[in-house]
A and B are shown apart, each in its own frame.
Chain A
Amino acid sequence: KQEVTQIPAALSVPEGENLVLNCSFTDSAIYNLQWFRQDPGKGLTSLLLIQSSQREQTSGRLNASLDKSSGRSTLYIAASQPGDSATYLCAVASLWGSSYKLIFGSGTRLLVRP
């Protein structure tokens, strides 16, 4: 049974700091991995999607890596800003029946202090 864990559960950093969020999964047989951002009381915004054959993806100040063999992914945020404050969720697409479903971690709540 696929389980997704995110550490730390919460993080508070001063503005300008580079930071790393971690995601681990128990079953390496994934189709892809996605990172999302969720603002309080809102839906999710997709940040990056990494296919299982890829090692990393970049978008602006964000860089996500994937190591399928060790069951780990990291989201690197460069030069953090107060606007980056949100909950960050990772999700793996795992086979479920004849299709795939997303299995989410519990998220890392990030606060970037001005």
Chain B
Amino acid sequence: KAGVTQTPRYLIKTRGQQVTLSCSPISGHRSVSWYQQTPGQGLQFLFEYFSETQRNKGNFPGRFSGRQFSNSRSEMNVSTLELGDSALYLCASSPQESTDTQYFGPGTRLTVL
């Protein structure tokens, strides 16, 4: 089976712009979670989607949003980018529950200038 794929792998944006990141889970996996990884804060949970519904959300401002499509592919969007949004954004998929073993993609490195 193909692993979790994320596109794009690298992205450079300027403050105030918006960005959309994409994640394709492992075939058959229905749960997709998003995480932000920074040197200062480490890995932090953003949100989880299951069957096109947001099942859980972390402590991030409303500028961070996401969605999941009927084929389980997921996108996350960050509007009005700030310098502090520079991070590695990781997507993970699991068969049903977020408590199942999570399989991570390679991440999207976002740099905000």
A95 → chain B closest CB, angstroms? 10
Asked if residues A101 and B43 are in contact (CB atoms below 8 Å), the reply is no
Asked if residues A46 and B103 are in contact (CB atoms below 8 Å), the reply is yes
Asked whether A60 is an interface residue with its Cβ less than 8 Å from the other chain, the reply is no
Name B's interface SS.
strand
**What is the size category of the interface that chain B forms with chain A?**
20 to 34
The residue from B33, B101, B106 contacting A43, defined by CB atoms under 8 A apart = B106
**A90, B99: Cα distance in complex, Å:** 14
Asked whether B66 is an interface residue with its Cβ less than 8 Å from the other chain, the reply is no
B90 → chain A closest CB, angstroms? 6
Name A's interface SS.
strand
Kindly list chain B residues whose C-beta atoms are within 8 Å of the C-beta of A42: 106-107
What count of chain A residues pass the 8 Å CB interface test?
26
Asked if residues B42 and A102 are in contact (CB atoms below 8 Å), the reply is no
Asked if residues A31 and B107 are in contact (CB atoms below 8 Å), the reply is no
The residue from A43, A101, A107 contacting B90, defined by CB atoms under 8 A apart = A43
Asked whether B98 is an interface residue with its Cβ less than 8 Å from the other chain, the reply is yes
Q: Which residues of A contact B (CB under 8 A)?
A: 31-32, 34, 36, 41-46, 49, 89, 91, 93, 96-107
